[in-house]
Structures are given as structure tokens and as C-alpha cells.
Amino acid sequence: MSEHYFSNNPQSKTSPRTWMYELRGRTFRFTSDIGVFSKNDIDFGSRLLIEQFQEPQINGDILDIGCGYGPIGLSLAAEFNEREVSMIDVNERAVELAKKNASANNVTNVTIQTSDLYSAIDDESRFAAVVTNPPIRAGKKVVHQIFEGAKELLLPNGELWVVIQKKQGAPSAKDKLDDLFGNVEIVKKDKGYFILKAQSV
Ligand SMILES: C[S@@+](CC[C@H](N)C(=O)[O-])C[C@H]1O[C@@H](n2cnc3c(N)ncnc32)[C@H](O)[C@@H]1O
């Protein structure tokens, strides 16, 4: 049976690959593997989101939902090291890799957990920013649940940052965010990828 990268517990054999990559002026060492999104290199969309992200104006923590092996959450945690960064993913192998990548890069201001949507996040937790390269292959319903849950978890004036390709539904994602938040900004378009930002009021 073919396996999707969002499987909860990928049983496929392992073939880890490690590479170095510069993000926001720091060099990271990342390991990814079979059964995890982007097993050979950093995804172009994730890189664009990392490069475009601006530090929130308000105090508070950051949440990376669908963290995979960790490039978004870990690179933001390394730069904004006075904030805590929560990183969650339904894929256990991805979560284990993200933990190893945190150690390999000496990033300690992170909490990395297995989580279906936001199930591992305390009801009382609130964030200054939620960032995501959402799991398009998991379906529109899951992507919309990620947007809806983010709105509930953001502090007033907190921001949801999303990267999504035009051909994978950026215009409809933009409409959904506008409906939910009453605002949405296209921060950047590059090679068919959109960086969208919506602010909680
Ligand atoms: C497009 S990938 C991005 C991965 C990583 N952030 C990156 O930049 O390489 C989306 C991620 O969402 C995760 N995912 C899928 N369904 C999920 C769910 N229900 N709850 C949490 N994460 C989920 C997948 O396992 C995958 O790692």
C-alpha cells in the first residue's frame, strides 16, 4: 500500500538524509527521511515562508502546525529565542526527526509533540503567531480545520502565516481566511507560491 507523508506512524523502511541549509542568516543541519514530507531538501514553500515571516508585534509564543522534520519552527525558534515555539505534527516519524534536528542545531526553546490537528495543545494556550505549510494532500477539510483552530488559539492581534501554492488552492484558502478573520494579506507571491497572513482581532 502506498503511504502518505501524513501517516500517523509510517512503517516504511528508513533511509535518513542529512543536509546543511542557511535560513535567515543561520546555518542549520537537517535530517529527514522516507515517510516524511520533503525528505531530500527543504521545500521551496517552507523556505519562502521562513524568509518572509516577520516577528509579531505582540509578546507571546509561536506555533508551527504540521511541523514535519522541523525547518519552519526550528529556524524561527533559533532567531526569536526569547519566545517559546510549539511544534506539532500527526506523523510520529516527523516529530522524532524534528526533536533530533532541534538537538543537532542546539535549539532549546521548543516543545515538539505528536498531535492530530491541535489535540496536544492545552485549551488555555494562546499564541502570537501560528505558522503553517499545510498538508494539502490531507484534504481541504483538514486545511480548513487548521485555519479555524489557529483563529481560536491566537492572541488578540496574533497572526496566522500560511504558505500555499496557487495550483493547490491559494485563492480559495485566501477566501477562507478572509471569511474567518475578516482580513487577509498576500505578503508575497513567488513561483506560484503565496504567503498569506491573517490577523486575529
Ligand atoms: C506540507 S507538510 C509541511 C512539513 C514541514 N512543515 C516542512 O516545512 O517541511 C504538512 C505537514 O502536516 C502534517 N499533517 C497532516 N495532517 C495533519 C494533522 N491532522 N495534524 C497535524 N499535522 C498534520 C504532515 O504530517 C506534514 O508533516
pLDDT in tens, 102-125: 999 999 999 999 999 999 999 999
Q: What is the pLDDT of residue 3?
A: 43
Confidence of residue 1 (pLDDT cuts 50, 70, 90): very low
CB environment 159-194: b (16+ within 10 A), e (fewer): bbbbbbeeebbbeebbebbeebbeebeebeeeeebb
Cβ–ligand 1 distance for 71 under 6 Å, the answer: yes
Does 140 have pLDDT greater than 90? yes
Ligand 1 binding pocket mutation candidate from 90, 93, 144, 147 (most atoms within 8 A of CB): 90
pLDDT in tens, 155-175: 999 999 999 999 999 999 999
pLDDT in tens, 50-73: 999 999 999 999 999 999 999 999
What DSSP character marks residue 4? -
Q: What is the pLDDT of residue 2?
A: 39
Ligand 1 binding pocket mutation candidate from 17, 19, 21, 37 (most atoms within 8 A of CB): 37
* For the chain, percent of residues with pLDDT exceeding 90: 92
Output the pTM of the full model.
0.95
132 alpha carbon – ligand 1 mean position (Å):
8
Nearest in space to 179 (alpha carbons), one of 198, 158, 152: 198
Strand partners, 159: 129, 199
* Angle 140-142-145 from CA coordinates, rounded to 5°: 110
Nearest in space to 76 (alpha carbons), one of 64, 89, 60: 64
Cβ–ligand 1 distance for 149 under 6 Å, the answer: no
DSSP-based three-state secondary structure for 175 = helix
Nearest in space to 35 (alpha carbons), one of 2, 84, 75, 82: 2
Atom of ligand 1 nearest to the CA of 67: 6
- Ligand 1, atom 5, residue with closest C-alpha: 68
